[in-house]
Structure 1
């Protein structure tokens, strides 16, 4: 509402209640009007001790008492991308019930520009590392498909915050982008997302120039985090070449994060690294939305007597806890 229109309304009826001014629509990615205000939140009297109260400090800390949301806006039910402009504009309301969520959100802020992983995928990863540190689950932290290092950074920060000492972290990536897919990868969803030619679907270990980033982004992030350089191993190259070699040196894995998108990028690490995951450790599957990922995981466990329970994080992330 402009000052001119407000003045006209006041002149027409001086005794009428004055409506709250509308927000500057240019500052809201989708436009909108005030929907509700989030008052300071306190735990009810007699709240059970030891139970995490879900209202995080972002709702009660310093800052304006009232916040605005676009009219009718709700966080997506399928997947929340933490750096989407609309999500960022409404982050004050984003509370999903994770342990220490305000701390986790600080970790997520620090990997801005270094990841394509969903909010729940990142928050769940941090909580899994925290759990391993608090419960003494041994092993390295491993990611296949490190991209610009966002998830590596989340694991590093969570390890430093909750752990007694830095653990070895392994980052696998070609740092050239994805290789060509094989027949098991191809369906309508894959074709719509990648839009490849027939020549790019031959399964060759040649980049299709998708999800490509050099290792300097990962190294820069880890320097900012101040993670010990001798506790980071970068395995550069195609998984078919690097994973069998690295499997000889990795003894135990606490968290195995798989984010290779493609069928072969799941077949190879599962074959060589799954048995390295300690009982009680975690296997994270980031690409359940892709047919190639689903086929590779399903086939692997079918050969081992059946699929374990898959914990659903969001539309694309699944988690397995290694049975004891």
Structure 2
């Protein structure tokens, strides 16, 4: 029953149970933005049969890798650009990491348990909290009471770039408002899954302010999703020395954002870390600390 519960929890967090509804939302949005000649009966058939349509197949493929369908339009100069506001319609799931990365997190926690690696679990940069909700569900499913899940985020989006490595990568709430999810919303989602309790610890604020003084003794899983060079480096500098031998570092955007990759490369070089970087999917990697 443990694995069945965790399997269902992953499907729920990734919205895999209701992908046809995502396809319906996107289909209606596209009809609104780019009207096409159709009848109400035709629209109703497409709506009811969404699971068998092309849009459903594309949503399903995106969910495997943690991506999303971009809705684009032509600008006045003839180029194509994304309608960024449309992401608010695309981000329906409670986690953006996709099936491969969610399975990787599950595998890492299973290994920690099997090999008796001491320490808590943390994610730095949680969005709606999906990964940390799964971490807490994992502890509950295995009846583990001596580990905590740390939920670290500004809950106000990403900081403005302040380092040269992050130049031209403004992902702050002014530019990417859908990345700014409040602590109240994340807590509400934990409650919705009946997983908010004393083993869930919230760290609200910029990583440079919260992580160095966090009351964390040991970590077994360190999941990094800070996107920026600064955020990634702040998390590593504050937490890596607390990661137990045999523990895991998971880097969500290593292959997606060059500044994130640069932070990992610089940190590993500076500390002489030669543990193998293992690819998870097109975006992410992890390594196990020796």
Deviations 1:142-192 (A, max 9, x none): 1100121101111111121134336211111000001112321346xx58x
Tell me how far apart the structure 1 counterparts of residues 282 and 95 of structure 2 sit (CA, whole Å): 17
Ranges in structure 2 where 5+ consecutive residues have no aligned partner = 1-44, 70-91
> What is the aligned-residue RMSD (CA, Å)?
3.0
- SS for the counterpart of 1:142 is strand
Q: Structure 1 residues 241 and 131, CA, compared in 2 at 3 Å: closer, same or farther?
A: same
Q: Structure 1 residues 77 and 141, CA, compared in 2 at 3 Å: closer, same or farther?
A: same
Paired residue total: 220
Tell me how far apart the structure 1 counterparts of residues 135 and 218 of structure 2 sit (CA, whole Å): 16
Compute the displacement of 1:245 (Å). 1.2
TM-score, scaled to structure 2: 0.67
Tell me how far apart the structure 1 counterparts of residues 99 and 63 of structure 2 sit (CA, whole Å): 11
Contact 2:59–2:68 (Cα < 8 Å) also in 1: no
Most deviating of 287-296 and 223-232: 223-232
Deviations 1:95-138 (A, max 9, x none): xxxxxxxxxxxxxxxxx632211211111112222222233211
1:180 partnered with 2:202: no
Higher helix share: 2
Contact 1:176–1:209 (Cα < 8 Å) also in 2: no
Contact 2:63–2:99 (Cα < 8 Å) also in 1: no
Compute the displacement of 1:216 (Å). 1.5
1:268 partnered with 2:268: no
Q: Give the structure 2 partner of residue 258 of structure 1.
A: 224
**Which protein shows a greater Rg?**
1
- SS for the counterpart of 2:65 is coil
1:132 partnered with 2:112: yes
TM-score, scaled to structure 1: 0.60
Contact 2:94–2:129 (Cα < 8 Å) also in 1: yes
Ranges in structure 1 where 5+ consecutive residues have no aligned partner = 1-23, 33-68, 85-111, 195-199, 201-205
Map 1:50-61 onto structure 2 (within 5 A). Answer: none
Q: Structure 1 residues 158 and 83, CA, compared in 2 at 3 Å: closer, same or farther?
A: farther
Map 1:56-205 onto structure 2 (within 5 A). Answer: 76=61, 80-81=65-66, 113-165=93-145, 167-181=147-161, 182-186=163-167
Tell me how far apart the structure 2 counterparts of residues 74 and 215 of structure 1 sit (CA, whole Å): 28
Q: Give the structure 1 partner of residue 264 of structure 2.
A: 297
1:31 to 24, 41, 53: 53
Deviations 1:185-226 (A, max 9, x none): 346xx58xx5xxxxx8xxxxx865541000122212222333
1:238 to 160, 184, 206: 206
